[in-house]
Amino acid sequence: MPPRLLSGKDLSEKILASLKPKVKKLDPRLVIVQVGDEPASTTYIRKKKEACESIGMRCDLMKLKASTSFKVLIKTIRALNDDADVTGYIIQLPLPGALHENEPQLFREIDPYKDVDGFTAYNLGKMFISSEFEHLPPATPAGIIELLSDAGIKIEGKCAVVVGQSNIVGKPIATMLLNRNATVIQCHKFTENLAQYTKQADILIVAVGKPNLITSEMVKKGVVVIDVGINTVKGKIVGDVDYDEVSKFAGAITPVPGGVGPLTVACLLRNCVRAKERQIDRKS
């Protein structure tokens, strides 16, 4: 039997449609800061802008030169914090050159109430308490949870194997799965004998950025596979999972593209609406 296809497209449209009346009422404004001209970032930003347009959300792109200094970027962040007409903002990653190493210092400057990416220590730290405190979760992990929940896939008690340890996907999705009572195994690029762990997965989440990392010998029958990878191979977008082969064993699987990607965008916009609601609550 072919696996169930977990498409993020329809669900992301459902989430976006649910945001529309709130956007009309609250009129939030998102600002996207792009440093440099990385083509993949330009594509992601275009998708974020298009999604905002589709629900009438204000969205502005602030483009800075790749040569922008740490000092200037800090000044930019502080100005965004102080601008009452900016609900939320994101610094599109990856940052070019030396700025990349300065990410922790830069994120420390972001007002947690405007941190719609959920990357600040405050918002990440709150996630450790429980799912009730996931107020502004990082968008990709939030999208994965939505996808599993919408498909009626049980998390509690299941073995969830996360391959990847990034601050924006691997670590927060492991925390969110743990908050929902999964037994979580966290693997990464240094894990020895990766297959030993992935074979145990009821739910396998892969976010490494390595095409064909997961092959059919590494999974058990009926596994739910969430492929977060976005790689270009011979001009084609592929994930981290050998889709054709792993599909023969999986119970459910995300396509790439069209799986988690659209949900990341929808959950970012949802965070922007939530940020506005929380800012209003804080003032009242």
Active-site residue list: 48, 92, 117
The 10 Å Cβ neighbour count of residue 211 is 17
Residue 2 to residue 140: CA distance in whole angstroms: 26
Angle at 238 between CA 228 and CA 146, to 5 degrees: 30
Residue with the shortest CB distance to ligand GUN: 93
Which residues contact ligand GUN by CB under 6 A? 90-93, 117, 139-140, 168, 264
Shortest reach from residue 244's CB to ligand GUN, in Å: 26
Structure tokens at 93: 């990653």
> By C-beta, is 92 or 175 nearer to ligand GUN?
92
Residue 226 to residue 44: CA distance in whole angstroms: 19
> By C-beta, is 79 or 195 nearer to ligand GUN?
79
Shortest reach from residue 40's CB to ligand GUN, in Å: 8
Q: Write the CA distances from 226 to 7, 139, 214, integer angstroms.
A: 10, 15, 11
Shortest reach from residue 94's CB to ligand GUN, in Å: 7
User: For residue 98, with 0-12 CB atoms within 10 Å meaning exposed, 13-18 middle and 19 or more buried, which class applies?
Assistant: exposed
> By C-beta, is 120 or 179 nearer to ligand GUN?
120
> By C-beta, is 92 or 123 nearer to ligand GUN?
92
3-state secondary structure of 149: helix
Shortest reach from residue 93's CB to ligand GUN, in Å: 4
241 sits in which H/E element: none
